[in-house]
Amino acid sequence: MHEPRDSGELLKAAADDDQRAWDMLESRYGPRMWATARACGLSEADAADAVQGAWLRLLEHLHTIRDPSGIGAWLATTTRREALLILRKGRPGVPLPEVVPGDPDPAAAVLEADISRRLWNAVSGLHEPCRTLLQLVAADCGNRQVAGRLGVPVGSVGPTRSRCLERLRTLIHQQETVQ
């Protein structure tokens, strides 16, 4: 059995005509790219465009990625940028973040899948604006993007986020008590 291949190694192989390496990159990062696009508030069709757009951008830069080992963060950041471009076309005025290669990878946090699933189910049970706000936070959108998306002042995002997290905490506690 082979050891899992390093992402940088996969990228180099993909640049050298290795379809299998490309497929492995897709398996490794596709779900996270989808989550990033969806959590920016895109519909399934638009999220599909954002993810596809990020892969096409990678094709354009296949031989010029400066840090191959950071390809996961590059793909996540590019997906977020494509998602926000799509959002901006639908809603002029949505601010765009600068794409910074090497953004922190959300997967660095180690959490049990079951906990994550329950947490997300609880978010889905919240009323607006908490549901959308926490979805945007999950996509690492900054306060300005969140404010633009919700149509509220930037200064109100932090306090609202705290209140929403408190409601989420209460909801999860109630669900755990019932079980």
- Which residues between 122 and 161 bind other proteins (CB under 8 A)? 123, 134-135, 137-140
- For other proteins, the closer CB: 53 or 129: 53
Q: How many CA atoms lie within 13 A of 26 on its CB side?
A: 12
- Nearer Cβ to other proteins, position 98 or 112? 112
Q: What spatial distance separates the first Cα and last Cα of the chain, rounded to whole Å?
A: 41
CB 103: neighbour CB atoms within 10 A?
16
DSSP symbols for 37-79 = HHHTT--HHHHHHHHHHHHHHHHHTTTT-S-GGGHHHHHHHHH
Interaction between residue 39 and other proteins (CB under 8 A): yes
Report the residue from 6, 9, 44, 67 that binds other proteins according to the rule CB under 8 A.
44
Residues that bind other proteins (CB under 8 A): 14, 19, 22-23, 26-27, 30-36, 38-39, 44, 47-49, 51-53, 55-57, 59-60, 62, 85-86, 106-107, 109, 111, 115-117, 119-121, 123, 134-135, 137-140, 162, 165, 168-169
